[in-house]
Amino acid sequence: MLLILVLSLPCGGAEVPRTDRTDGLIRELLVKLDSTGIYAAIKEGKIDAQKSKLPGESDVESSEICLRIAEEYFNFRIDSSMVYLEKAARFAERSAVDSLRYEVSIKKARVLSFAGLYNESREVLEGIPRSKMKGELLVLYYNSFSHLYHELYSNTGSSSGFHDEYVDTYNLYRDSLLSIADTASVLYLRSYEKKAARAREFAEAIRCNSLRLSKIDDKRSGAYATCLYDRFLISYYYERNLTGEAVDNLLECAIIEVENCNRNIASLLRVEALLININEIKSAKKVSDYYYASLLAFGSKKRLIDVIEQTIIINESNLQLLRKKNKQIVAALVFISLLVIALFLILFVLNSSRLKIQRLKDNLQRSGRISRNYVGVVFKLYSSYMKRLDVFRIKIHSSLKRGNVEQALELTSPSGEVSSVERRELFHNFDVAFVDIFPDYIKTVNDCLKPEERIVPKKTEILNNELRILALIKLGIEDYTEIADLMHCSVKTVYNLRSVLKSRLAIPEDEFMKIISEL
């Protein structure tokens, strides 16, 4: 139980809210990452289908085809996107259609800012005559400028003196876009959504996002994924209140981006941090490897620098988690070692208890056998004594009846042969029974005596008087008067024999008596 407790302890990271869909979405994303080669082939197929249409019937058509190809390459391979924008620019230049040339330049500036080439992007935008911008072209123009300054301030350190200037310029272009764009357009709704989120008007930001989602028919498109990611940012970045629904939006966005082979996926970096926070280290590593490989294929050095900086932070957190996990593993190993030691101790105690129980069982069986045997022996002895008493009574009666008083007196004399024989038989039967019950008795006593003082009974006896007195004490008879009566001797004799035995001991008397009592 202690081991389970240690291994189940959290090893750090923030609590991540979940819904019933969250775990399924994580599993789906990890499965999608194994099929990225298929998605890349599908993407290449779509691009090749567009390429097969080149050259178009006119320079305008060819330029528009190149713009579509550049758009397909935009989040797939940025260098290729630039190549086809350059081709689109050449076709537009030959077409002499100003609006087409300006559109290509605006989209080229956007790609340059994504690639981190901010000066080049600004030069392209400043080279476009503002007075020539009308309608949707002016909206795109303001959007490219706002995106450029968004990239500048979001990638400039807070200590930079230009940060506030970039923020102000971004706000100006964003507000300019909002003043002229169609209020029902996706571009207007997204710009207004970000403005509301920054102003902490979260309900309004969510309303705009919901309108954007409702306008997208293809729920597996990159535009739909972008909406989901923006919705996640409202909760996570602006409101600072990450919910289970926001987590699901992030995961669903990442799944769609992987399916569309979008290699400029900001969502995956967030997913990696999320997986680390819920201790899915192996899954986080899989996401991180894919994300890094995607950015390498995307070709934006600026994006690589950004992700490396963020990855360093994430890896530091990951390292801290691993250290904590290692500490838990060490603690678990210590607990396992202690449990193993405790297990051996328990096994030792159980084995000792088993041996004791087995000895008790054997002793009980032996005691039962001895009890059965000696019940019969005692019965036979009493029966034998009754017969002898009857014979003795008949002899005395016959002697007195015949008037032979001298014979009767001889038979009843205390020093007579009958009394000696009975005493010897009594001692013999006691010795046999006691040694049968305690077979190690003589050896145990001798082990406690000095080597030269060990007791060796005569061949005609089992126990001598010293061993017999000690045997009676072992049986619980400690009154020397009672012992003298049983031994048919004086109390002084008992004292003397006891003193002799005490003088022959090789160990203290208390220890000796304890050994005898525990026999």
What single letter denotes the amino acid at residue 463?
L
Residue 343 resides in a domain: no
Residue 471 resides in a domain: yes
Q: How many domains would you assign to the chain?
A: 2
Same structural domain, 149 and 294 = yes
What single letter denotes the amino acid at residue 329?
I
- Taking CA atoms, 391 is separated from 379, 388, 479, in Å, by 18, 5, 35
Asked if 411 contacts 399 with a C-beta cutoff of 8 angstroms, the reply is yes
Class of residue 349 by CB neighbours under 10 A (exposed 0-12, middle 13-18, buried 19+) = exposed
Per-residue pLDDT of the chain (519 residues; tens, 9 = 90+): 555 554 444 444 456 888 999 999 999 999 999 998 899 999 999 999 999 999 889 999 999 999 999 999 988 888 899 999 999 999 999 998 999 999 999 999 999 988 888 899 999 999 999 988 888 999 999 999 999 998 888 774 544 567 788 888 999 999 999 999 999 999 999 999 999 999 999 999 999 999 999 999 999 998 999 999 999 999 988 999 889 999 999 999 999 999 988 877 778 878 888 887 777 778 888 888 888 888 788 876 666 665 665 566 666 766 776 777 788 788 888 889 898 999 999 988 888 888 888 877 776 676 666 555 555 555 566 666 677 777 777 877 787 878 777 777 776 665 555 556 777 777 888 888 888 888 888 888 888 888 888 888 887 888 888 888 888 888 888 888 888 888 878 888 888 888 888 888 888 888 888 888 877
Q: Where does a domain end: 328, 351, 369?
A: 328
Same structural domain, 121 and 250 = yes
Same structural domain, 216 and 324 = yes
Q: Where does a domain end: 328, 359, 386?
A: 328
Q: Where does a domain end: 328, 357, 390?
A: 328
Geometric angle at alpha carbon 218, from 217 and 219, rounded to 5°: 105
The two three-digit tokens of residue 350, written as one number:
């159980």
What single letter denotes the amino acid at residue 448?
C
Asked if 124 contacts 112 with a C-beta cutoff of 8 angstroms, the reply is yes
- Taking CA atoms, 365 is separated from 187, 355, 371, 412, 439, in Å, by 98, 15, 10, 44, 15
The DSSP letter of residue 280 is: -
Measured from the Cβ of residue 315, the count of other Cβ atoms closer than 10 Å reads 14
Residue 383 resides in a domain: no
Residue 361 resides in a domain: no
Query: How far is Cα 451 from Cα 507, in angstroms, rounded to an integer?
Result: 12
The two three-digit tokens of residue 280, written as one number:
């899915």
449 in helix, strand or coil?
strand
Residue 445 resides in a domain: yes
Asked if 231 contacts 209 with a C-beta cutoff of 8 angstroms, the reply is yes
What confidence score (pLDDT) does residue 189 get? Answer: 94
Residue 374 resides in a domain: no
Cα dihedral 220→226→232→236 (10° resolution)? 150
CATH code, domain carrying 56? 1.25.40.10
Same structural domain, 230 and 126 = yes
- Tokens 């758009």 belong to which residue? 71
What confidence score (pLDDT) does residue 229 get? Answer: 93
Give Cα 513 distance to the centre of its chain.
Answer: 57
Does the global pTM surpass 0.75? no
Measured from the Cβ of residue 173, the count of other Cβ atoms closer than 10 Å reads 20
What confidence score (pLDDT) does residue 128 get? Answer: 92
Query: How far is Cα 473 from Cα 483, in angstroms, rounded to an integer?
Result: 8
Residue 388 resides in a domain: no
Query: How far is Cα 99 from Cα 107, in angstroms, rounded to an integer?
Result: 12
For residue 138, which of 189, 188, 111, 177 has the smallest C-alpha distance?
Answer: 177
Same structural domain, 204 and 62 = yes
DSSP characters for 74-111?
TTT-HHHHHHHHHHHHHHHHHHT-HHHHHHHHHHHHHH
Q: Could you list the residue range(s) of the whole structural domain that residue 167 is in?
A: 16-328
Beta-carbon contacts of residue 83 (< 8 Å; ≥ 6 apart): none
What single letter denotes the amino acid at residue 480?
Y
For residue 192, which of 180, 213, 178, 173 has the smallest C-alpha distance?
Answer: 178
Give Cα 51 distance to the centre of its chain.
Answer: 54
For residue 11, which of 325, 384, 232 has the smallest C-alpha distance?
Answer: 325
Residue 395 resides in a domain: no
